[in-house]
């Protein structure tokens, strides 16, 4: 028994060693790096939690967190609401037509994030974009969402919803397929209408898929850097400068590697909390 156990561990040891090298080694190195006084890209000595304290003292940090919360919160809520409506609609369609609709809905999810951001940027590009041309043709005058803070943030949220709605629809549709028909039939026999069946039976039985989708979408939106970087570059001004953009600009524009590493580790800690919640809720039976 002991020899078979040792043999089994010897087979999986190389895989775990590779995972440790690729996944965990950068985290430990980043933790050490964040505690150093970084100058010109090189550690000059131990600085303790100076880099973390400097982040908390920055006056713009609160605004960055607020923009991240607005972007993530609106993206997640709008995606879930639309995806839930689509999932309920698809669940009631004929099998062939439902399959076709699922293919259409899932296409944005499988498209590269950079490609999706470029498509939206070309459509909404000021003056020469397709959206500006359509607005002028319909008599709405100038349409330049990328030049206003609210318009740029709304565009980022729209891209996020469009890009991730396919994933949410598939997960929620799977949850709907797992609800026994006997529950809804019994409710209708008791006189419940469609809204009452949805609110009293369908929605409570979807609580686990809804929470899982919310956690995954939150993780995805918090960590996205491609969409704001390609579409707005964090502008106009700092209107779309969210945490991921802040980390990128600190590291590769301002060369503040200590601050960038410290912020990345704080984001990593938040991601770990969300991942633990995800694992916890996968075991939560409706």
Q: Specify the 3-state DSSP secondary structure of 143.
A: coil
Per-residue pLDDT tens for 15-47? 888 877 887 788 888 888 888 887 777 778 888
Mutual orientation of helices 130-137 and 113-123 as an angle, nearest 10°? Answer: 30
**CA distance to 108, 181, 277, per residue, from 95 (Å):** 22, 16, 34
Q: By C-alpha distance, which of 229, 221, 217 is closest to 121?
A: 229
Cα–Cα–Cα angle for 101, 152, 268, rounded to 5 degrees: 80
Q: What is the pLDDT of residue 286?
A: 47
Q: What is the pLDDT of residue 283?
A: 66
Mutual orientation of helices 25-34 and 257-282 as an angle, nearest 10°? Answer: 140
Q: What is the pLDDT of residue 38?
A: 78
More confident site: 43 or 283: 43
281 pLDDT exceeds 80? no
Per-residue pLDDT tens for 201-226? 888 889 888 988 998 999 999 998 98
Q: What is the reported pTM?
A: 0.86
Joined tokens for residue 194:
């469609």
Q: What is the pLDDT of residue 126?
A: 66
In the predicted model, what is the mean pLDDT of the chain?
85
d(CA 55, CA 224) in angstroms, rounded, equals 20
144 pLDDT exceeds 90? no
**Is the peptide bond preceding residue 236 cis, with omega within 30 degrees of 0?**
yes
Band of pLDDT at residue 245, cut at 50, 70 and 90: very high
d(CA 256, CA 92) in angstroms, rounded, equals 54
Per-residue pLDDT tens for 95-143? 889 889 999 999 988 888 888 888 888 888 766 677 777 777 777 766 6
Residue range 68-73: mean pLDDT, rounded: 94
**Domains of the chain and CATH, by start:** 51-282 (1.10.3720.10)
φ and ψ of 242, to 5 deg: -95, 180
284 pLDDT exceeds 70? no
Q: What is the pLDDT of residue 79?
A: 96
Residue range 261-269: mean pLDDT, rounded: 88
Q: What percent of the chain has pLDDT over 70?
A: 93
d(CA 177, CA 197) in angstroms, rounded, equals 15
d(CA 3, CA 7) in angstroms, rounded, equals 6
String of DSSP letters for 23-49: IIHHHHHHHHHHTEEEETTEEEEE-TT
Band of pLDDT at residue 66, cut at 50, 70 and 90: very high
Joined tokens for residue 165:
């709605």
More confident site: 56 or 6: 56
């Amino acid at each position: 028994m002991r020899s078979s156990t040792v043999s089994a561990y010897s087979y999986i040891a190389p895989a775990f060693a590779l995972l440790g090298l690729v996944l965990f080694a950068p985290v430990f190195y980043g933790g050490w790096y964040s505690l150093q006084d970084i100058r010109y890209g090189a550690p000059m000595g131990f600085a303790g939690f100076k880099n973390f304290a400097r982040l908390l003292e920055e006056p713009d940090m609160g605004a960055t967190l607020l923009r991240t919360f607005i972007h993530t919160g609106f993206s997640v809520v709008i995606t879930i609401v639309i995806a839930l409506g689509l999932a309920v609609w698809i669940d009631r369609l004929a099998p062939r037509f439902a399959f076709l609709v699922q293919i259409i809905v899932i296409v944005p999810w499988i498209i590269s994030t950079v490609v999706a951001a470029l498509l939206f940027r070309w459509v909404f590009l000021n003056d020469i974009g397709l959206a500006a041309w359509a607005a002028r043709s319909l008599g709405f005058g100038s349409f330049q969402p990328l030049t206003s803070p609210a318009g740029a943030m709304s565009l980022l949220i729209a891209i996020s919803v469009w890009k991730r709605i396919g994933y949410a629809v598939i997960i929620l549709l799977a949850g709907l397929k797992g609800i026994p028909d006997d529950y809804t039939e019994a409710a209708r026999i008791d006189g419940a209408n469609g809204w009452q069946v949805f609110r009293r039976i369908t929605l409570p039985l979807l609580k686990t898929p809804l929470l899982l989708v919310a956690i995954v979408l939150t993780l995805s939106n918090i960590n996205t850097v491609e969409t704001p970087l390609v579409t707005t570059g964090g502008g106009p001004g700092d209107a779309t400068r969210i945490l991921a953009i802040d980390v990128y600009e600190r590291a590769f524009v301002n060369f503040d590697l200590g601050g960038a590493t410290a912020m990345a580790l704080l984001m990593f800690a938040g991601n770990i909390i969300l991942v633990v919640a995800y694992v916890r809720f996968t075991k939560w039976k409706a």
